[in-house]
Structure 1
């Protein structure tokens, strides 16, 4: 019988975000390996309007199928300090409980799902609990006081608590508390769109090169405090070229004002949200990805993997006890600099802008590292191995292929990764 898995996420694509992308990629790849997978999450879409950051916003409950993954997007009425008010969530979870699953995989931090599970009572009828701890709650102190006891309760009852990297475990109080139950499951992506860009992606890349020239630095993600975009704005004063910012968020106005004060506003391109093919085009057009995150709210940085898969070098930061510098290695796939250091970011950028051979070498090794460590099949195989460990089931060989017909056997054998059937 295939493993029956239910992921409890925050949102789900087309909602933007690292946790959202990871949930979708993992679920799809698990289906490709033969698992029966469903996702329960909050619906972010209010009639074509992204309601993620709105306090008061009503969205409907929607059922759909995404490449074999059954997705339930529960409607919400409001959101307070990352807690979404979703009355229909309880009926969705009751249905999961009634139908039965082997693994209930919760992606945290996730106050909404933790609260709902608390009100529903015992976890036992749901199946074995696995939690992915994507990041510590750092800045929201009021939320943390209420959230930590609930977090501790569920982590204590989980069979496994997964981190996105070994580096993150040592600095996380939540992960250290669970001891040997804390394991690393690095995030992965479907590399196909990045290694085989569509004509639309290539055309968009050419458009960006024509309009903005080179060097073109790229930032991708929500415009929030731990992304370190204040450092990026300051660094642009001493770096050549333009900065293309893809994404939006609550700090955008503040950063626009900062750019005006620094005299670099005319060299920042605010692209907002791009579609998937345009995003690939942005990676193709850029000189390097700027990733100056400055807090452990950034536990991994999935956009680094996307850039690496595209052959784009990464300039990232050494965030203590975070996986950021693990994803893109200094001197391997990019350059790692200290946190909150605009001068270092500018210097690294000038170095890359002036050395085409270095850019090429880093780009080639970036592609290799993305394939070896952060491919979706590698991640999914590792996840199923963890599930079977938690359930006490034996590991079994598999010769399944991905939805696009690419056999993963050769790559997984070379990596020593377990090949499993669900």
Structure 2
């Protein structure tokens, strides 16, 4: 994903520098202080482009950590993943993975804490994500045989601590909702390690064979989530959603982009405040990389943005936008294509009236943009953090055309 007028090569270079710096920060956080125990990680694929840290002293565990962390989205990425796994399994990883990181671990380390919590010895692999405000350490917890036992997230800032707590609450709520087509992780532990919020959740079987995900099946899974905590129906300007959105916009009104979003929302209220909408829950970040389609279920993870009481259909719009950004020449074009595709995307959710379709799509864009500004994604270096380069121009033009 890249802004409209930013050179991809420059973006990649910035991302690489930020990831490399983040690796040092994460290891210092996971292994505070110094001690006698040495912990060593291999850097996958290398120190210049770190994506994953895996144990260097056990090739079986390291291979399993790479193989089972996540399923790559493209054939080329799967080939690269499988090459690394084969090198680790055969002992040839020294030729392919030359970069290692070592720390001297004291007693109070994250692996010791998680081992005590789960009652077993653990090995960790560490995911290194791209720069963004909500980036947090994500750990794969493995046993000595290389079996994936769980995943853990650490909230290390005010924002990420709140998100980790929110995900724990979301998983508890959704887990009790009796979903049949969607499978979500179970909460194994929620607590604190020092000043950091910790959430340990069961590992969904992402390594199982995949099944084709048709558009009706995807919409059905999203509709099940939309209904899982109840639904309501009524005018936009009298809804709890509108009140909450107004409060969020008021909190960022002193930000230039926040002011533009508030103006857009006010214009929607004047033009279409009495439009009737249905409200339900949404996952909040339903994208291809947060799900997997199996024959008997759709696996969905990363529930930290789950929210009840939003216009039904937000998940379908979000998924389509993420796919569009990956395929369109520019993110701005992807936004325009999303609005054009909204009638078809929202039809399975019962949103059929022309004005309701338009308002739902525009509210989704305002909601997403409000999140970006509130989280300060631009300041964190997120690649789409500067809304004026892609989302705002399209949103303003579409709102003015209401």
- Give the structure-2-normalised TM-score: 0.28
**Comparing both structures, which one devotes a greater share of its residues to helix?**
2
- Give the structure-1-normalised TM-score: 0.27
